[in-house]
Structure 1
Amino acid sequence: MSALNLSFRMRKKKVNRSLGGNILMFLFLAVTGAFMALPLVYAINAAFKPLDEIFLFPPTLFVRNPTLDNFVDLTALLGNSWVPFSRYIFNTVFITGMGVVGHVLFASAAAYPLAKMNFPGKNILFTTVVLALMFAPQVTAIPNYMIMSWIGLIDTYWAVIIPAFAFPLGLYLMKQFMEQIPDALIEAAKIDGASEYRIFWQVVMPNVKPAWLTLMILLFQILWGTEGNGFIYSEELKTLHFATNQIIQGGIARAGVGAAVALILMSVPITLFVFSQSRIIETMATSGMKD
């Protein structure tokens, strides 16, 4: 009987769409995808445009006379910087890496008891997390600065990294995913003698891989573009985004350099997303679990 019911459900869920419907759906997706790709196409072409094409009106989407002068000028400007360009790269990679890894660990460790344990104040804590999603980063900037100043971390990497640990969206996302794990699976692990730490690392975390992979991408994009303004003052601790913005502010003569900078800054998050997109979709498609 169960096999017949399963076969009936599969036939019931089968989508009955004509060839014309498939063609219309394909055309709609193609037009939508092309429209969404326009900013990326323009940014790539603008990085290779000479100055006369950048200020051309009406602007053109594709470059007519491609050149590498923008990247050559960018290299020359960075070579004359007081702080080596490699230092800016290291600062950005260190802040981004530590912030992403630390937040995933803290958010996962905090979400596990909220999702699978009962204790006094649980609902109040989760309500506080949900309310924290409503506050923009500009609202929490002053409290973050005051806290970092009280503990003496202003003008250090940690003034940017530690606030990233408390990113509320990550905790909310991890908690929602962990609630989908069957309680029977955790109970079976406890019967086998597994400790809470072993259950967390070997049972819970592998089953919420879509959540922390998605969270890593979201937080990477945020931290990769941070400047650390208000928290970091020393030039040798500044990020890559701050250094490139200083170059862009040199005037309209550096518009070409600014286009090259924009392409470089956006290429890293896009590359990360392209390589991890298939993995996220695969894990989301195979992560559904029921009692």
Structure 2
Amino acid sequence: MSAMAASSKKRLSRSLVGDITLFIFLGIFGAFMALPLVYTINNAFKPLDELFLFPPKFLVRNPTLDNFFDLFHLMADSWVPFTRYVFNTVLITAAGTVGHVVLASAAAYPLAKHRFPGSKVLFTIVVLSLMFSQHVTAVPNYVIMSWLGWIDSYIAIIAPALAASLGLYLMKQFMEQIPDALLEAAKIDGASEYHIFWQIVMPLVKPAWLTLVILLFQVLWGTDGGHFIYSEELKTMNYALSQILAGGIVRAGPGAFVALLMMSVPITIFVISQSNIIETMASSGMKE
């Protein structure tokens, strides 16, 4: 009876034609999503006469490195070297991203795996904080930074990134999926809480903190300092890009090349992290 019931079930299978059709369908959408990146790459190597063609040409006809050399000369003549903008951007991005991942994970672990008075209230506050946009909290953040004396310093950008509530929420939700029996077994074997956190919990929630790296890296890499940084020597690359574009159409070439530089690093980080996320989610799933 069971064999007859199993044979009567409809078997789902794809033919070779179906696989080819699906591949073509996904390929078309993938190519469409890649068009902005391809267009930006081509613009970076276009001479000025091709940049202002109408109707515009998608692909470059006469590739040149003049945009790169023009950018080099512009930055060489500026009051602050371009390497200083690069250093500021890398410092803010690295410190904010790494610090947020560590602090969010360390705060999420006791909320997910330890029951203590007020834990539910604290997590409710974290969830409620996700409802407020950055525009709502901009004025309170500025007042707090001014009171602490952190205006016009790196910490004014790094500190809000460290305290972002999205990372704490995401890490807590992932850590709750770790079997309690695994942690109890580690405790019986004599492992300390720090050993459990770094050697067991963090590797298992690798998809979560890699996702945080992607999201926060993109935000911090594109920051221009906003209303917190006023000194020219503390500005970021995004600010330098805006100053280049403010020079008018004669700086369209260097501006196109800087846009490529700004896009290349986040895309590289995303590609590397995405591969690790897929691999980790496929190989480290655990069920109690």
Q: Please give the range of the TM-score, normalised by the shorter of the 2 chains.
A: over 0.9
Distance in 2 separating the partners of 1:289 and 1:251: 56
Work out the CA distance in 1 between the residues paired with 2:106 and 2:189. 22
Q: What RMSD over aligned residues (CA atoms) do the two structures have, in Å?
A: 1.6
Runs ≥4 residues deviating over 4 A? none
Moved more, 34-43 or 65-74: 65-74
TM-score normalised by L of structure 1: 0.92
1:255 aligned partner = 252
In structure 1, the residue matched to 2:184 is 187
List per-residue Cα deviations over 1:92-141 (Å, max 9, x = no partner): 11111110111001100111111111122222222222222222222222
Q: Which residue of 2 aligns with 1:211?
A: 208
> Hey, what does 2:17 align to over in structure 1?
20
One-letter amino acid of the counterpart of residue 85, structure 1: F
Point out where structure 2 has 5 or more consecutive residues left out of the alignment. 1-5
| Amino acid paired to 1:118 | R
The one of 159, 167, 170 equivalent to 1:170 is: 167
Q: Hey, what does 2:155 align to over in structure 1?
A: 158
The aligned residue for residue 4 of structure 1 is: none
- Which residue, out of 41, 60, 67, partners 1:63? 60
Deviation of 1:143 (Å) = 1.3
1:289 matched to which residue of 2?
Answer: 286
1:53 to 50, 53, 57: 50
TM superposition shift of 1:15 = 5.2
Q: How high is the TM-score relative to the length of structure 2?
A: 0.93
Q: 2: distance between equivalents of 1:239 and 1:258? A: 15
Pairing of 1:130-169 with structure 2 (within 5 A) = 130-169=127-166
Q: Aligned partners of 1:206 and 1:274: how far apart in 2?
A: 20
SS of equivalent to 1:219: helix
Question: 1:108 pairs with 95, 105, 108, which one?
Answer: 105
Find the aligned partners of 1:132 and 1:20 in 2 and give their Cα distance. Answer: 50
For residue 36 of structure 1, what is the amino acid of its counterpart? M
| 1:124 has 2:121 as partner | yes
Identify the residue that residue 3 of structure 2 maps to in structure 1.
Answer: none
Q: Find the counterpart in structure 2 of residue 227 from structure 1.
A: 224
1:228-268 Cα shifts (integer Å, max 9, x gaps): 12111111111111112111111121111111110011011
- Residue 35 of structure 2 corresponds to residue 38 of structure 1: yes
Identity percentage over the alignment?
72
**Rounded Cα–Cα distance in structure 1 between residues aligned with 2:134 and 2:21:** 41
Q: Which residue of 86, 91, 101 corresponds with 1:89? A: 86
Q: Residues of 2 paired with 1:253 and 1:287: CA distance?
A: 53
Residue 129 of structure 1 aligns to which amino acid in structure 2?
A: V
- Aligned twin of 1:200: 197
Aligned equivalent of 2:266, options 259, 265, 269 = 269
Distance 1:188 1:275 in 2: 33
**CA distance in 2 between partners of 1:98 and 1:195 (Å):** 27
Q: How far is the alpha carbon of 1:152 from its aligned partner?
A: 0.8
